[in-house]
Amino acid sequence: MTVRRDFKEPARCRPDLVIGREDMFSAARDQLAEGGSVLLHGPAGIGKSTLLRALAAEYGETARTVLRCSATESESHLPFLALADLLGLVLDEVSERLPGAQRTALESALTGRGESSLQRDGLALRLAVLSALRALAADGPVLVVADDLQWLDPASAELLGFAARRLGDTQVQMVFAVRTEGQEYDRYLSASPPDTLAFRLSPLSRAQVSALLDHRGYAGLPRSTVREIHRTSGGNPLFALELGRALAENPTPPRPGEPLPVPTSLRALVLSRLDMLPAEARRTLLVASAGARPTVALLQTAGRENAEAETAQAAELGLLATEPEGPAVRFAHPLISAALYAEAPAQERRAAHAALSTAASDPIERARHLALATTGTDPEVAARLAEAATLARDRGAPSVAASLGLLAARHTPGDSAPGPDERRLQAAEDAITAGELDLARDIAREVLTRTSVAAERVRAWIMVIDTAGHSMADVDAVFPQALADAGDDPRLLALVRYQLAWRALLVEGDFAGARAETARSAELAARAGDRRTELLALSFQAQTETLMGHPDAPLTIKRALKEPQDPRVACHHNGAGSARFRWLVMSDQLPEARATITALLREVRRRGSVESEVHFLRGFAETELRSGHCGRALDLAREGLRLARDSGIGQTASAMLTALAEASGGDVDEALALAREAVEHAEEDGDQMYLSRALGALGYAQLVAGDAHGTVRSLRRVRELEQALGVTDPARGRWHGDLAEALVRIGESAEAQDVIDVTRERALRLGRESVLAVLDRAEALVRAARGDHDAAVAQLTSVQDRLAKLGYGLEEARAAFALASLRTGQPGPTSYDEAARLFRRCRALPWLRQVDEAVVARPPEPAPVPAPAPTLEGLDGLASMERQVAALVMEGATNREIAARLFISVKTVEATLTRVYRKLGIRSRVDIVRLAAGRRPN
**Least confidently predicted of 319-333, 702-716, 856-870, 913-927:** 856-870
| Integer Cα distance of 240 and 233 in angstroms | 5
558 CA to centre of own chain = 37
pLDDT in tens, 725-777: 888 889 988 999 999 999 999 999 999 999 999 999 999 998 999 999 999 99
**Least confidently predicted of 43-47, 323-327, 408-412, 635-639:** 323-327
Rounded to an integer, the average pLDDT of 532-555 is 89
DSSP 473: G
Neighbours of 249 (CB within 10 A): 9
Distance (Å) of CA 507 to CA 350, 476, 652, 682 = 50, 10, 15, 10
**Percentage of the chain lying above the pLDDT 90 cut:** 45
Q: Are 538 and 521 in contact (CB under 8 A)?
A: no
Give the chain's mean pLDDT.
86
pLDDT band, very low/low/confident/very high, at 268 (cuts 50, 70, 90): confident
| Integer Cα distance of 371 and 358 in angstroms | 12
pLDDT band, very low/low/confident/very high, at 292 (cuts 50, 70, 90): confident
| pLDDT on residue 9 | 33
Q: Is the pLDDT of residue 1 over 50?
A: no
Cα dihedral sign, 358-359-362-366: negative
Q: Are 410 and 256 in contact (CB under 8 A)?
A: yes
In 451-510, alpha helices (H): 454-466, 478-486, 490-506
Highest mean pLDDT among 20-34, 407-421, 816-830: 407-421
Rounded to an integer, the average pLDDT of 514-536 is 95
Burial of 303-314, coded b for 16+ CB within 10 Å and e otherwise, reads bbeebeebbebb
**Percentage of the chain lying above the pLDDT 70 cut:** 90
pTM above 0.85, yes or no: no
| Integer Cα distance of 405 and 426 in angstroms | 7
| Integer Cα distance of 401 and 385 in angstroms | 9
Rounded to an integer, the average pLDDT of 34-63 is 88
| Integer Cα distance of 638 and 621 in angstroms | 9
Beta-bridge partners for 176: 39, 146
Q: Is the pLDDT of residue 251 over 80?
A: no
pLDDT band, very low/low/confident/very high, at 210 (cuts 50, 70, 90): confident
| Integer Cα distance of 587 and 603 in angstroms | 24
pLDDT band, very low/low/confident/very high, at 862 (cuts 50, 70, 90): very low
**Which residues, at least 6 apart from 680, have a Cβ–Cβ distance to it below 8 Å?**
none
Q: Is the pLDDT of residue 641 over 90?
A: yes
**Which residues, at least 6 apart from 713, have a Cβ–Cβ distance to it below 8 Å?**
none
Q: Is the pLDDT of residue 356 over 90?
A: yes
Rounded to an integer, the average pLDDT of 624-641 is 95
Neighbours of 908 (CB within 10 A): 16
Q: Are 322 and 373 in contact (CB under 8 A)?
A: no
pLDDT in tens, 456-506: 999 999 999 998 887 888 898 999 999 999 999 999 999 999 999 999 988
Q: Angle at CA 17, nearest 5°, toward 11 and 19? A: 135
Q: Are 259 and 291 in contact (CB under 8 A)?
A: no
Q: What is the DSSP string of 223-237?
A: HHHHHHHHHHHTT-H
Distance (Å) of CA 632 to CA 175, 629, 636, 843 = 41, 6, 6, 9
Beta-bridge partners for 200: 41
Query: Packing angle between helix 651-665 and helix 610-626, nearest 10 degrees?
Result: 30
**Least confidently predicted of 172-181, 322-331, 841-850:** 322-331
pLDDT in tens, 673-692: 999 999 999 888 888 778 99
Distance (Å) of CA 311 to CA 29, 135, 301, 621 = 45, 57, 15, 48
Beta-bridge partners for 725: none
Q: Quick one: which of 297, 334, 302, 303 has its CA closest to 319?
A: 334
| Integer Cα distance of 45 and 235 in angstroms | 10
Neighbours of 860 (CB within 10 A): 5
| pLDDT on residue 275 | 81
| Integer Cα distance of 640 and 707 in angstroms | 28
Q: Are 39 and 197 in contact (CB under 8 A)?
A: yes
pLDDT in tens, 572-608: 888 888 988 998 999 999 999 999 999 999 999 988 8
pLDDT in tens, 3-31: 333 323 333 334 445 788 888 888 898 89
Q: Are 825 and 854 in contact (CB under 8 A)?
A: no
**Least confidently predicted of 26-30, 407-411, 530-534, 781-785:** 26-30
Q: Is 66 left (phi over 0), alpha (psi -120 to 50) or beta?
A: beta
H/E segment holding residue 576: helix 576-586
pLDDT band, very low/low/confident/very high, at 349 (cuts 50, 70, 90): very high
Q: Are 549 and 726 in contact (CB under 8 A)?
A: no
| pLDDT on residue 184 | 67
**What 3-state class would DSSP assign to 174?**
strand
Q: Is the pLDDT of residue 445 over 70?
A: yes
pLDDT in tens, 101-144: 888 888 888 876 656 556 666 788 889 889 999 999 998 999 99
Q: Are 531 and 525 in contact (CB under 8 A)?
A: yes
| Integer Cα distance of 585 and 593 in angstroms | 6
